[in-house]
């Protein structure tokens, strides 16, 4: 057990205890919560820093969950057990339910500057998307009128076109549902994708841009046309799903004041 391991190491583990207040997912059921915390506090090498829970994000259920959570905390107080931190608010409650803020909130997805749902766009909290997905042009070629591109000939050129192949596809997190739908920033213009999304490639109409191999293309960015929410809505995905499908092996470049300050290359570890 954690308590035994800490005893052997001569240390004390600081823990948070999760309560099930109605989500019926992994956690201690609220009716057992106070007794469970009391037992933990009786162990010599664990320090209970707080209790937390997760809401269903439906008004009536959340009201009941908050009441159950308060009941657990009140039971602990009556027993003379001090729990420093109480938390039940994720991004949804942080935006819409001040009663659930308690001692701390867990904003989650909003740390990326993203609203979970369309209804949240009216929130007074001004979020700005904090990530972009960029790639480079791999090749530019002229495709004649009547020729089709990509698997299943998903797009047929209505006229002579310059088509740029970008090195990013559904392996990198671009939904396959974005066939002929993506708006991608190439240079200073937004261009449309043409054809299907392949494993490692997506094609765009680069006619008249003078695009060349190595040019940077912004597949997902802070502008509405290619924002996380716009891409998710076009693909019929949740924003959460889109974020979680971004390739974990893609290098992360961290910016401060618009300048790179750190680079994480997962394959280097």
- Which DSSP string do the residues of the chain spell out, in sequence order? -HHHHHHHHT--EEEEEEEESSS-SSSEEHHHHHHHHHHHHTSTTEEEEEEEE---SSHHHHHHHHHHHHHHHHHHHHTT----EEE-B-HHHHHH-GGG-TT-B--GGGGGT--SSGGGGGSSS-------EEEEEEEEEEE-TT-EESGGG-EE-SS-EEEEEES--GGGT--GGGTTT-EEEETTEEEEEES---SS-EEEE-TTS---TT-EEEEE-SSGGGSHHHHHHHHT--HHHHHHHS-TTS-EEEEETTEEEEEE-GGG-
| Statement to judge: residues 61 and 154 lie in one domain | no
**Is residue 117 situated within a structural domain?**
no
| Statement to judge: residues 144 and 75 lie in one domain | no
**Is residue 147 situated within a structural domain?**
yes
The total domain count for the chain is 2
**Is residue 173 situated within a structural domain?**
yes
| Statement to judge: residues 97 and 10 lie in one domain | yes
| Statement to judge: residues 185 and 100 lie in one domain | no
| Statement to judge: residues 97 and 201 lie in one domain | no
| Statement to judge: residues 97 and 137 lie in one domain | no
**What is the pLDDT tens value at each position of the chain, 269 positions in all?**
777 887 778 888 899 999 999 999 989 999 999 999 999 998 888 899 999 999 999 999 999 999 999 999 999 999 999 899 999 999 999 999 999 999 999 999 999 999 988 888 888 888 999 999 999 999 999 999 999 999 999 999 999 999 999 999 999 999 999 999 999 999 999 999 999 999 999 999 999 999 999 999 999 999 999 999 999 999 999 999 999 999 999 999 999 998 999 999 887 65
| Statement to judge: residues 17 and 70 lie in one domain | yes
Q: What is the pTM of this model?
A: 0.84
Domain that holds residue 217: 133-247
| Statement to judge: residues 101 and 154 lie in one domain | no
Looking up residue 11, the CATH number of its domain turns out to be 3.20.20.10
| Statement to judge: residues 32 and 103 lie in one domain | yes
């Amino acid at each position: 057990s954690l308590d035994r391991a800490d005893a052997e190491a001569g240390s004390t583990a600081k823990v948070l205890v999760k309560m099930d207040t109605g989500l019926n997912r992994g956690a201690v059921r609220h009716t057992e919560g106070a007794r469970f915390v009391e037992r933990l506090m009786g162990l010599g090498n664990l320090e209970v820093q707080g209790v937390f829970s997760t809401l269903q994000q439906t008004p009536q259920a959340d009201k009941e969950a908050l009441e159950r959570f308060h009941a657990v905390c009140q039971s602990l107080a009556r027993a003379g057990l001090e729990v420093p931190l109480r938390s039940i608010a994720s991004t949804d409650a942080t935006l819409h339910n001040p009663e659930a803020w308690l001692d701390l909130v867990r904003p989650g997805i909003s740390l990326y500057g993203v609203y979970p749902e369309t209804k949240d766009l009216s929130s007074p909290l001004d979020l700005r998307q904090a990530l972009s997905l960029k790639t480079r042009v791999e090749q530019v070629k002229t495709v004649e009128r009547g020729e089709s591109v990509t698997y299943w000939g998903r797009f047929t050129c209505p006229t002579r076109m310059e088509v740029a192949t970008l090195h990013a596809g559904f392996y990198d997190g671009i939904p396959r549902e974005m066939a002929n739908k993506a708006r991608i920033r190439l240079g200073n213009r937004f261009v449309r994708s043409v054809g299907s999304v392949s494993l490692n490639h997506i094609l765009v109409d680069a006619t008249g841009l003078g695009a060349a191999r190595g040019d940077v293309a912004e597949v997902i960015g802070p502008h509405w046309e290619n924002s996380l929410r716009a891409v998710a809505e076009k693909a019929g995905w949740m924003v959460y799903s889109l974020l979680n499908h971004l390739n974990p092996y893609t290098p992360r470049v961290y910016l401060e004041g618009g300048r790179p300050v750190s680079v994480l290359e997962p394959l280097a570890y």
